[in-house]
Structure 1
Amino acid sequence: MQLVYAFDAYCGWSHGFTPTLREVAARHPELPVEVVSGGLFTGPRAVPIRQFGYVQGANAQIADLTGAEFGEAYDRLIADGSFVMDSEAAARGVAALRRAAPERAAELAGALQEAFYVDGLSLSDPATYRKVAAAAGLDADAVVAAFESPDSLDEAADDFHRAAELGVTGFPTLLAVDGDRVAVLARGRATADDIDVRLSQGALS
């Protein structure tokens, strides 16, 4: 059995779920964690953030319910409403980081969300991946090259397909997967204790 974490790096609720995912991974080192990007803001939804009028209110709710931090640099980045959240670019970055250290994918996904939501860095900018990779002790040049490679587009598309194939309709979603069997452990918000209860009840039994 493994865990599959379907998230979007530009999803505030996924940012709020990061501590839960970190705790679950720490409690269950025997369960590999596959990280899959969901593609929340792609195609016609990759538009200036001002078109999502609910963002600030939603972030306040996320912070209140999960303790997630939304930094001043992030507030400045989105202040004029022109910033575009491009989930395809973010998924390419997730794929590049995952390729560099697949066993640390969950950790790196959280670091990437912190780069955006706390440090106010664009996930379309290669410099962001250089910074995240360097901070994680990875080969930053290799990560940037992977992000800029045409192959990363295919990997992003594969992630979107994988999430859809697993029946994911919202982010974040944490699944237990064993062969063809799939069980939902969490959608949106949950604690590590909630997930432990579901695992102990035999999520896939």
Structure 2
Amino acid sequence: MKLVYVFDAYCGWSHGFSGTLREVVSRHPELPVDVVSGGLFTGERRVPIHEFGYVQGANAKIAELTGAEFGDGYEKLIADGSFVMDSAAAARGVAALSQAAPDRAADLAIALQHAFYVDGLSLSDPATYREVAEQAGLDADAVVAAFEAPEAQAAAEADFHRAAELGVTGFPTLLAVDGDRVTALALGHGTADDIDQRLAALRTS
């Protein structure tokens, strides 16, 4: 069995799920985790953030429900409403980081969301991946090169396709995959205890 975490680095609810994901990973070191980017803001949805009028209200709700932090850097970045969330660029970055340390993909996804939602760093900027890689003790030059390589776009498209194949329609979604059996452990939000109960039920069924 393995876990598949389908998220979008520009999704506030995914950021809110970071604490739960970290706890689940620490409780279950025996379960490998695949991180899949869902592609929330692509195509016609790749527009300035002011066109999503609900962002501040949604973030307040996420913070209240999950305790997630939305930092000053993030508030400054989106203040004038012109910032564009490009999920394809973010997915390329997730792929580059995951390639550098596949066994740490979940932690790196959490770190990337912290870079955006707390520090206010753009996930379209190669410098963001350099910083995340350096903080994680990875080869920053290799991560940036991977982010900028054509293969990263192919990896992003493959992630979007995989998310659709898994039937995921909202983020974050945490799945348990055991052979052909796919079971949802969390949709949108959930606690580590909730997920433990579902895992225990799976293992006894």
Counterpart of 1:106, as a letter, is: A
- Change in CA separation of 1:203 and 1:5 when aligned onto 2, cut-off 3 Å: farther
Per-residue Cα deviation, 1:102-130 (whole angstroms, up to 9, x for no partner)? 00000000000000000000000000000
Aligned positions of 1:126-141 closer than 5 A: 126-141=126-141
AA matched with 2:174 = L
**Secondary structure, in 3 states, of the residue corresponding to 2:123?**
coil
Q: Which residue of 1 aligns with 2:143?
A: 143
- For the pair 1:4 / 2:34, whether they are aligned, the reply is no
Taking structure 1 as the reference length, what is the TM-score of the superposition?
A: 0.99
Deviations 1:177-201 (A, max 9, x none): 0111100000001000000011111
| Percent identity over paired residues | 78
**Counterpart residue number, 1:115:** 115
Give the whole-Å Cα distance in 2 for the aligned partners of 1:184 and 1:141: 36
1:204 offset after TM fit, Å? 8.7
CA-to-aligned-CA distance 1:59-88 (integer Å, 9 cap, x gap): 000000000000011000000000000000
Aligned residue in 2 for 1:57: 57
User: Counterparts of 2:79 and 2:167 in 1: how far apart (Å)?
Assistant: 35
1:202 shift after superposition: 1.5
User: Which deviates the most, 195-204 or 26-35?
Assistant: 195-204
Deviation at 1:19, TM superposition (A): 0.7
Gaps of 5+ in 1: none
**1:1-205 residue pairs with structure 2 within 5 A?**
1-202=1-202, 205=205
Q: Is the 8 A contact 1:183 1:203 kept in 2?
A: no
Question: SS at 1:120's partner residue?
Answer: coil
2:84 and 2:127 mapped to 1: Cα distance?
Answer: 17
Number of aligned residue pairs: 205
Residue 6 of structure 1 contacts residue 172 of structure 1 at CA under 8 Å; is this kept in 2?
yes
CA distance in 2, matches of 1:199, 1:93: 30
The whole-number CA distance in structure 2 between the counterparts of 1:65 and 1:82 is 27
8 Å Cα contact 1:181-1:204 kept in structure 2:
no
Give the RMSD, CA atoms, in angstroms: 0.9
Aligned partner of 1:174: which letter? L
1:92 is paired with a residue whose SS is: helix
Task: Answer whether contact 1:183 1:204 (CA < 8 A) is retained.
Answer: no
Q: Secondary structure at the match of 1:141?
A: helix
Residue ranges of structure 2 left out of the alignment (5+ in a row): none
Q: If the length of structure 2 is used for normalisation, what is the TM-score?
A: 0.99
Runs of 4+ in 1 over 6 A off after TM superposition: none
Q: Is the 8 A contact 1:176 1:204 kept in 2?
A: no
